[in-house]
Amino acid sequence: MLKLAVLVSGGGTNLQAIIDAIDNGSITNAKIEVVISNNKNAYALERAKQHGIEALCISPKDYEERAEFNQAFLEKLNSYGVDLVVLAGFLVVIPEMMIKQYRNRIINIHPSLIPSFCGTGYYGLKVHEGALARGVKVTGATVHFVDEGTDTGPIILQKPVMIEQGDTPEVLQRRVMEQAEWKILPEAIDLIANGKVEVVDGKAVIKK
């Protein structure tokens, strides 16, 4: 049984998609051990509690030094003995010591088809604003392993979403969530939980 920690900063719609997929059997062999947020007001924490999942907040604001927060965060995470860390809209930079310790065991969902509209400064609505400003016809979402770069780790799954006439960043954000993010994040977790993903030469390979 793959033990998950889900890290969140906001409403937790991707967390909800994972909870629902575990409940309906589309994610097998996995359970959420803990949900951690950097924001005590994140509705995601409420979602976790409603499903009997341990939920806690560890905020950088409670520490004088960022290094102190990073250390406390990692120690807390380690105390749960999880196998996979899922970043589901987590707006805190993951410290290098955590990436090293959890190499190829941290995944992130990003609301574009990497390498487009990703990297520093591209998060939340800014991704969709960028796509619309550039006039691309297709966007989507990507699940990838986390490495030391920003959105540069091995890509596990991608799903395209068509851009429609009259889209606003908010409308596009919602469609990318519904048509891509909420589908491929649970799918990636299920693949990993069942031993079907490995990283070879810096690329994620899905085994049949």
pTM: 0.96
Where in the sequence is the domain holding 31, given as residue range(s)?
A: 2-206
Q: Name the domain count of the chain.
A: 1
| Helix orientation angle between 182-193 and 13-23, rounded to the nearest 10 degrees | 50
In whole angstroms, what is the distance from residue 156 CA to residue 159 CA? 11
In whole angstroms, what is the distance from residue 200 CA to residue 91 CA? 28
Residue 165's Cβ-side half-sphere holds a number of Cα atoms within 13 Å equal to: 0
**Helix (H), strand (E), coil (C) string for the chain:** CEEEEEEECCCCHHHHHHHHHHHCCCCCCEEEEEEEECCCCCHHHHHHHHCCCEEEECCHHHCCCHHHHHHHHHHHHHCCCCCEEEECCCCCCCCHHHHHHCCCCEEEEECCCCCCCCCCCCCCHHHHHHHHHHCCCEEEEEEEECCCCCCCCCEEEEEEEECCCCCCHHHHHHHHHHHHHHHHHHHHHHHHHCCCEEEECCEEEECC
Q: 184 near 160, Cβ under 8 Å? A: no
Which residues form the catalytic set?
Answer: 110
In whole angstroms, what is the distance from residue 193 CA to residue 196 CA? 8
Which CATH number goes with the domain that contains 176?
3.40.50.170
Query: How far from each other are the two terminal CA atoms of the chain, in whole angstroms?
Result: 20
Q: Per-residue confidence of the chain (208 residues) as pLDDT tens digits?
A: 999 999 999 999 999 999 999 999 999 999 999 999 999 999 999 999 999 999 999 999 999 999 999 999 999 999 999 999 999 999 898 999 999 999 999 999 999 999 999 999 999 999 999 999 999 999 999 999 999 999 999 999 999 999 999 999 999 999 999 999 999 999 999 999 999 999 999 999 999 8
Q: 136 near 163, Cβ under 8 Å? A: yes
| Helix orientation angle between 169-176 and 125-134, rounded to the nearest 10 degrees | 110
